[in-house]
């Protein structure tokens, strides 16, 4: 059983790796990684969970960084456009990307018990792509979200 983010791990590495990758990517591409954007990213990095835009906004507001919805939606739009966060459609919520730097179609596992959200390794989407292609459909983006129980929560049920 490979280790992964559902299990206990040194999460400070997740945070620093992702933040560093984002800083480097913005630097290289002349993107403005402004304080609000950076703070929203930090908030999403703090746990492997999806957060609603309004949950994030509440934190920002307490810190005096903006109190209106557009503030957080604009930051999320920036972060999503550049691949730093993903939207979880099933939850109408957002999660920090775990594979920074690589352009990828993410696929997620959502634990309904502990609410953690983890990206699958690799891109297990080739079967879907080829099923679509065999019907003549040209895929541009794929949403893959598996809901269920993570290893830890299976044990405690």
Partner DNA sequence: TGAGGGCTTGATATACTATAACAGTTCATA
Partner DNA sequence: TATGAACTGTTATAGTATATCAAGCCCTCA
Q: Which residues bind a copy of itself (CB under 8 A)?
A: 1-2, 4, 6, 89-90, 107, 109, 111-112, 118, 120-122, 124-132, 134-151, 154
Q: Which is nearer to a copy of itself, 21 or 149 (CB)?
A: 149
* Residue 75 interface partner, choices a copy of itself, DNA, Zn ion, none, CB cut-off 5-8 Å depending on type: DNA
- Is the distance from CB of 129 to CB of 139 less than 8 angstroms? yes
Decide if residue 75 touches DNA (CB under 7 A). Answer: yes
- Contacts of residue 82, Cβ cutoff 8 Å, sequence gap at least 6: 22, 25, 26, 29, 31
Return the closest-CA partner of residue 44 out of 33, 32, 59, 34.
59
68 token code pair: 């209106």
Count other C-beta atoms under 10 Å from residue 40's C-beta.
Answer: 30
Restricting to residues 79-118, name those near Zn ion by CB under 5 A. 111, 113-114
127 token code pair: 């079967």
* Residue 129 interface partner, choices DNA, a copy of itself, Zn ion, none, CB cut-off 5-8 Å depending on type: a copy of itself
- Chain residues binding DNA by CB under 7 A are 31-32, 34-37, 52-55, 65-71, 73-75, 77-78, 87, 92-93
């Amino acid at each position: 059983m490979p280790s992964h983010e559902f299990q206990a791990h040194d999460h400070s590495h997740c945070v620093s790796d992702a933040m560093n990758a984002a800083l480097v990517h913005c630097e290289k591409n002349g993107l403005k990684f402004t304080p609000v954007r950076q703070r929203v990213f930090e908030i999403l990095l703090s746990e492997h969970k999806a957060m609603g835009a309004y949950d994030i906004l509440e934190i920002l507001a307490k810190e005096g960084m903006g109190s209106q919805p557009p503030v957080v939606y604009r930051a999320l739009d920036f972060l999503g456009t550049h691949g730093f966060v993903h939207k979880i459609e099933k939850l109408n919520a957002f999660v920090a990307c775990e594979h920074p730097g690589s352009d990828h179609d993410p696929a997620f596992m959502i634990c309904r018990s502990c609410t953690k959200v983890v990206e699958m390794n690799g891109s297990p989407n080739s079967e879907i792509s080829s099923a679509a292609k065999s019907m003549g459909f040209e895929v541009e983006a794929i949403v893959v979200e598996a809901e269920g129980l993570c290893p830890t929560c299976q044990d405690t049920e």
